[in-house]
Every structure is written in structure tokens, then in C-alpha cells.
Amino acid sequence: MTRYIYEFGPQKTHGDASMKNLLGGKGANLAEMARLGLPVPPGFTISTECCNDYFGLRGRFPETLSQEIMSAMAWMEAQMGMRFGDPDAPLLVSCRSGARTSMPGMMETILNVGLCSKTIPGLVARTGNEWFVYDAYRRLIMMYSDVVMEKAEQTVPEDGMGIRLNLEMMMNNLKNDKGYEHDTDISLQDMQSLCERFKKKISQYLKTEFPDNPREQLMGAIGAVFKSWKGKRAVSYRRIEHIPDSWGTAVNVQAMVFGNMGDTSATGVAFTRDPATGKNHFFGEWLVNAQGEDVVAGIRTPNPLNNDTKNMQNRHLPSLEEAMPKLYAQLYDIRNILESHYKDMQDIEFTIQEGKLFMLQCRVGKRTATAALNMAMDMFEEGMIDETTMICRLDPKSLDEMLHPIVDPQEEKTLSGWRKACPRPGRGLGKNRVHCRRCGSDGQNRRKCYPGQGGNQPGRHRRHAGCLGHSYGPGRHDQPRGPGGQRMGEMLYCGCRSLENPGQKPSGPGGDKGV
């Protein structure tokens, strides 16, 4: 009988970093971090073989998968001291994709799976934080309706917007009407009302009810992650990057830890070295009282990870080094462990739940050609890699990027509405388009335009390989698609305050603006 599921966690781990073809990059590295004794929440990985078998069965799960999932869930429940779907001590999980090679922003994630009318009261009683529970429920509704109920079913929105954008508009209208600056300012009563309004909108828009059964949510989320392998974004990305369709994606089901439980909780992303320049300093961003998607969504300007990486835009915000020095020191130690173990720059995700640090991901980080060159030489001089490895770290194709013209850094500071972020080589003249549908996704017929994103909400971004570049609204200075898009010869402008357009309805090619 084919085995599809491999557990990972403090007490038991099946798998390691060498098994990325079977477990995907994320699953293999979660298993490896667990083997290293790092604080990884327990979970399990459904293999890439299962993904291929799923499509071979025309969208049906293999017969043995359901029982394997239930056995793995029982093991996870024992590890966490909670039970999935239990009304008194409910366990919530995340479902994340994980192909064998990194595909930033192309695949899907669903958080807080298991929240429903039956489990909400128990989680409120267990945490004593009703606002947190309804905020988590709101996030589940938005992600699940977008990823599982619309995209996975290949539903074509009649209004051209999609359910996610509709729900974002409802939330932004509430914030504007009530004068809320941030999501965290929304009152409990308004958050509860918003969740109910969301579900009514989903019923009207998608002609189906939001699922109120934890098991239905879980199986729907797993199936949606598999289906995302054949989504338009993923297929286009694979064609550009020459990734075979036969690889498939793994699914990682992991116990939830929460960065949105108050001021002692946080979430963040980091690189063990600067992905833009290659400098050997810890580089990243974090947000207090937030979940992972908030850091990349542009909802709030993220805080710098440490004092060394503060800049003009975030120097007034406290770094993690200042706000939580003990946890920063623990994270810094983990940074050193991971880079020494993998012998390469790592891109990591972490969550702090009520003062306790958890690691959610590590992978070889994307980087600019300049950074790749500098890192390779530095790591060779440090004795971390040998000369052959140093040479092999340099992709000949990416070296072309170092010859591209760039915007004068001094002139860039004077441009109104645009602020300096993680530098992406390139220079061009064209139109900024809020929504661009006319660019060749295969890199042909390159147009003089820059598709703009007001923030970077999950699911809204589409790869525009046929454009000269990308522009991003407020949010992360190191947008996750940045190094990837830059490697494809695109110029990127991040943190553009004038592009702030959450909830803007697309009309034609979008609002054009010269850049």
C-alpha cells in the first residue's frame, strides 16, 4: 500500500531535507527543522505522489488517504492536547502548499481550519480572548471562500472582482465608516457582525453556503491546495521557470499557532542575509498582533527585525530586537543554526504566540544576482562552502541582471509618491496599471506598463511576465515576489504610497499613471 502521509514534530518525524521530491520543499524542511530540535508545531505532509494520484483519479482522493489523515490528526491531537472539531478544546490547523522548488506567491494557503459555530465558544473559553477568535474566523472565511470555494472550483466572477476583493471592500467600507485605521481597531461587535455579513455575501455571490463542519473544511482545503497546482498562476510560473507539471505539490497540515493573540504575539519573515545586497546581517520584518498573511499584505507597515536594518520608512517603529529582546536572541541563534546547517542563505517564517517562538518555514532564499555573487564569495571566505560550490551558486542567466541600468538612488529619494525599498535593478518608462490583462504571460510582447498592487493581499497578485516591471503599494519593502520577479528581468518598485487602492474595483486596464 502506498504511503501518503509523513508526520513531523518534536516527538516523531518521518522525513528530512533530502526528501523534497516526495515531501516538497516546505514539508522536507519542516521535518529537517524538527530533527534539529527547533520549535516546530507538529503536523504532517501529504506527499507529491498523492497529488499526482489525485489528478490521475480525476479529482478524487485515493481510497486510503482518508484513514491516513484521521490517524495523523489523532497523533497531532495527542501532541497538542486538543482535538479537531472538539467543542471544548478545539484544535485548528493550517493547510499550505509545498512544491519541491520554491514558487513564491503561486500556490495557496488556508489558515484557522476547524473554526465553526461549534468550536468558536470553546476557543473563546480556552483563550479568554473573544476578539482574537472572531478575527481568526474572519480570516478563515476570507481565505477559504477565495481559495477553496472560488479558485479551486474555477468559478469565473461575473463582476470581474472575485469573492476575496468583494469581502475586502466590505471590510474597508466598515473601517472607513467607523474611522478604524487598522484591522486591529475594529470592535468585537463589528467583527462578529462582519463575519455574518461575509457568510451572507458568500451565499449570494457563490450560490453555496460557507461550510460549518471542521472535517468538510479540512478535506476541502487539502483538495484546493492540490488543485492550485493546476491554477493559472502556477501553470504560468512553471512555464516561465521550466518546472515540469509532473512534479506535483505536497500539502502541509500543521497545528495552528497564533500571532494575533495580543501584544505578546507577533509574526514575521526574515532572511539570514540581505537578499538584495548579500550583506551578512539578519534582515526581515515583523508585526505585533498579526497573522502571517498580514506581513506581506500591506495592511500595516511592518516593523524592522533589528536596529541594523532600520530605514527612513520604519525607523520610528520598534524592532523585534528592542520590543522582545529575548525572543530576538532566540531567533538569531536559530538563524545561525539554519545557515550553518544548510550552508546557504535561508528565507524563514516565524510566529510568536504569547511570548513563545515557533518556526513555520525555512527555504533557500531568493536573491538578486548582486546578492548571489556577494554571498557566494563571503561564504567561501568564511569557510562555509568550497570553491566549486561558490562558482555553482552563480546562475549565468541572472548575471545579465547586473548589467541592467538602474534608477539613480539619490534621484529616487526625490520622487514624490515613490519611496525606496529593496532595490530591484532596472529602469524604464511606462504606465502604472492597477489591473493589467493585456500583457503576455509567457514573456512575449512585453508592454511598457507596471501592474500596480495596492498592498499585496494573498490571491490578488498575478504574475505579469509580459510587463516591464511591477509596482507595489504600502507594505513589505522586500515583497515576496520581488526577488523572483527581479530574476525574470522585471523592475520592481515597493512601498509606493500613491498606489494605495484597497478595494478598488477594476475597470478596463485600470488607472494608468506614468512612471
What is the tens place of the pLDDT at every residue in 317-365? 999 999 999 999 999 999 999 999 999 999 999 999 999 999 999 999 9
Task: Provide the percentage of residues in the chain whose pLDDT is more than 90.
Answer: 65
What's the pLDDT at 92? 98
Same fold, 266-398 and 405-515: no
What's the pLDDT at 374? 95
3-class SS of residue 178: helix
Q: Tell me how crowded residue 312 is: count the other CB atoms within 10 A of its CB.
A: 9
What's the pLDDT at 498? 52
User: What is the rounded CA–CA span in Å between residue 96 and residue 147?
Assistant: 11
Topology at the third CATH level for domain 266-398: D-amino Acid Aminotransferase; Chain A, domain 1 (3.30.470)
How does DSSP assign 390-455, residue by residue?
HHHTS-TTGGGGGGS----HHHHTT-TT----S--------EEESS---S-TTS-S-BSEEEEESS
What's the pLDDT at 461? 42
Please choose, from the candidates 323, 292, 253, the residue with its C-alpha nearest in 3D space to the C-alpha of residue 73. Answer: 253
How does DSSP assign 29-83, residue by residue?
HHHHHHHTT-----EEEE-HHHHHHHHHTTS---TTHHHHHHHHHHHHHHHHT-E
Instruction: Record the cell numbers describing residue 158, joined without a space.
Output: 461575473
Question: Any bridge partners for residue 449, and if so which?
Answer: 431
User: What is the rounded CA–CA span in Å between residue 167 and residue 139?
Assistant: 11
pTM for this one? 0.84
User: What is the rounded CA–CA span in Å between residue 106 and residue 227?
Assistant: 12
pLDDT tens column, 261-278? 999 999 999 999 999 999
User: What is the rounded CA–CA span in Å between residue 105 and residue 363?
Assistant: 14
The mean pLDDT of the chain is 85
Domain coordinates in residue numbering, the chain: 266-398, 405-515
pLDDT tens column, 15-71? 999 999 999 999 999 999 999 999 999 999 999 999 999 999 999 999 999 999 999
User: Taking the alpha carbons of 37, 38, 39, 45 in that order, is the dihedral positive or negative?
Assistant: negative
Contact 460, 157 (CB under 8 A): no
pLDDT band at 482 (very low <50, low <70, confident <90, very high): very low
pLDDT at 494 over 70: no
pLDDT at 464 over 70: no
User: What is the rounded CA–CA span in Å between residue 231 and residue 238?
Assistant: 11
Please choose, from the candidates 249, 221, 223, 222, the residue with its C-alpha nearest in 3D space to the C-alpha of residue 235. Answer: 249
pLDDT at 203 over 80: yes
Please choose, from the candidates 110, 140, 293, 151, the residue with its C-alpha nearest in 3D space to the C-alpha of residue 234. Answer: 151
Phi, psi angles (nearest 5°) of residue 449: -150, 160
- CATH architecture classification, 405-515: 3-Layer(bba) Sandwich (3.50)
Question: Which of 251-255, 295-299, 423-427 is least confident?
Answer: 423-427
pLDDT tens column, 137-192? 999 999 999 999 999 998 888 888 999 999 999 999 999 999 999 899 999 999 99
pLDDT tens column, 305-321? 999 888 888 889 999 99
Q: Tell me how crowded residue 123 is: count the other CB atoms within 10 A of its CB.
A: 26
